[in-house]
Amino acid sequence: MRRTDGRWWCGLLAGWCAVLGGCHAEPKTLRAVELQTPAARAEAAEEYWAGRGSGGLDAGRHRRVVITEFVLEFVTEKRESGGLISDRQKIVDVPTGFLSAGVMASGLKRKVIEYEDEMCRQLPDVVFRQVRAGLQAGGFEVLPSGRVVGAAAYQGFETEAEGRASLLKRINVFSSDTGRVLAARRYPADGLQVIRAARGGDEAAVERALLAELGADVSLRIRFRLGIFDDRVSIERGSAITVTRADGAGVWESRRSLLSDVQVVTDDGFMPVAGKVLQLNEAAYRSAVERLAEAYFGLALEASEGAREREGE
């Protein structure tokens, strides 16, 4: 018994060491991802998005769509753990000695991203229109946001003010492939709200009540996280799409970040402790986000349609 227990603890320790010492694969630029053929797009969809639950979409069976939330989450502060040789980010970002602790405290790996408030308010509407057009091109009917927000069932959601800073990420030690998010701000689109929770605690029940009230087939909640990596726009791992139908629900979570082909940072002055302060070329940033979001959502739609086909088998 003691030997068995010892092997179990050794295995657990080895697993944690692998996690602590492991790194994500480096993110690719949009140009580097093969999307030219249906087979390539299907392969990329599986690489970039993973589903949990029953979240497939099928325009033939679930045509009428309500989007209950559409949010762009702008990363305002992050920490990167890459070294001189590679930009690969650690899976777990914690100091492993006095030197790494000193580097973390100095701000050398910290980045603060400055955005214009007006851009943060306008850009969600632009990307929302792209997503709506993508759904319509796929055969879906998207109900107007005004009808969604005005529905009685929508009042079952607790919401929060736009642009509210999310600082709870500071206690998280797990990084994505573009670094560890320390703070972010969320901005909704098209008159929708940032949803915090359901008043009764059951978000799926509120979504289904909304579907019944509006005569719709499927509800989507979409959150895209936007950051900066290698001076490029990154639409990031951790973005999510929640799908609710009368006969099932699921979540699509992005597994990899996707980078813009162009660099958008114009200045990166360093401040001790605070870190590098990144200033952006707004026009280049807007254009890059539009291109990335269109491709990223297209991959998510591809993945969800494939899942629905498998559900129907």
The whole-number average pLDDT for the span 20-41 is 86
The answer for residues whose C-beta is within 8 angstroms of residue 313's C-beta and 6 or more apart is: none
- Does residue 27 fall inside a structural domain? no
- Does residue 121 fall inside a structural domain? yes
- Give the chain's domain count: 1
> pLDDT band for position 101 (50/70/90)?
very low
- Does residue 221 fall inside a structural domain? yes
- Does residue 226 fall inside a structural domain? yes
- Does residue 14 fall inside a structural domain? no
Let me know if 30 is exposed, middle or buried by CB neighbors in 10 A (0-12, 13-18, 19+). buried
| Predicted confidence (pLDDT) per residue in 74-93, tens digit | 999 998 876 544 567 776 65
Of the candidates 184, 162, 308, the residue with the CA atom closest to the CA atom of residue 248: 308
Structure tokens at 178: 């573009």
Whether the per-residue pLDDT at 167 is higher than 80: the answer is: no
pLDDT the model gives residue 188: 98
Exposure class string for 181-212: b at 16+ Cβ within 10 A, else e: bbbbbbbbbbebbbbeebeeeebeebbbbbbe
Query: What phi and psi, each to the nearest 5 degrees, are found at residue 277?
Result: -105, 115
Whether the per-residue pLDDT at 297 is higher than 90: the answer is: yes
| Predicted confidence (pLDDT) per residue in 61-79, tens digit | 889 999 999 999 999 999 8
| Predicted confidence (pLDDT) per residue in 134-164, tens digit | 999 999 999 999 999 999 999 999 999 999 8
pLDDT the model gives residue 6: 53
The whole-number average pLDDT for the span 5-22 is 48
The whole-number average pLDDT for the span 98-115 is 64
The answer for residues whose C-beta is within 8 angstroms of residue 224's C-beta and 6 or more apart is: 71, 72, 73, 127, 235, 239, 293, 296, 297
Q: ∠ at Cα 235 (110, 221), nearest 5°? A: 120
**Residue 128: CA count within 13 A, CB half-sphere:** 27
Residue with tokens 């991959």: 299
Structure tokens at 161: 């003010």
Q: Cα–Cα distance between 298 and 94 in angstroms, integer?
A: 35
| Predicted confidence (pLDDT) per residue in 219-273, tens digit | 999 999 999 999 999 999 999 999 999 888 999 999 999 999 999 999 877 767 5
> pLDDT band for position 109 (50/70/90)?
confident
Structure tokens at 215: 């005569």
* Domain extent for 73: 34-311
Whether the per-residue pLDDT at 169 is higher than 90: the answer is: no
Pairing of strands 265-271, 232-235: unpaired
- Does residue 255 fall inside a structural domain? yes
Whether the per-residue pLDDT at 187 is higher than 80: the answer is: yes
Q: Positive or negative, the Cα torsion across 241, 185, 72, 265?
A: negative
24: left (phi over 0), alpha (psi -120 to 50) or beta: beta
**Residue 250: CA count within 13 A, CB half-sphere:** 20
pLDDT the model gives residue 20: 47
- Does residue 21 fall inside a structural domain? no
- Does residue 15 fall inside a structural domain? no
Query: What phi and psi, each to the nearest 5 degrees, are found at residue 306?
Result: -65, -40
Find residue 98's DSSP bridge partners: none
Does an H or E element contain 218, and which? strand 218-229
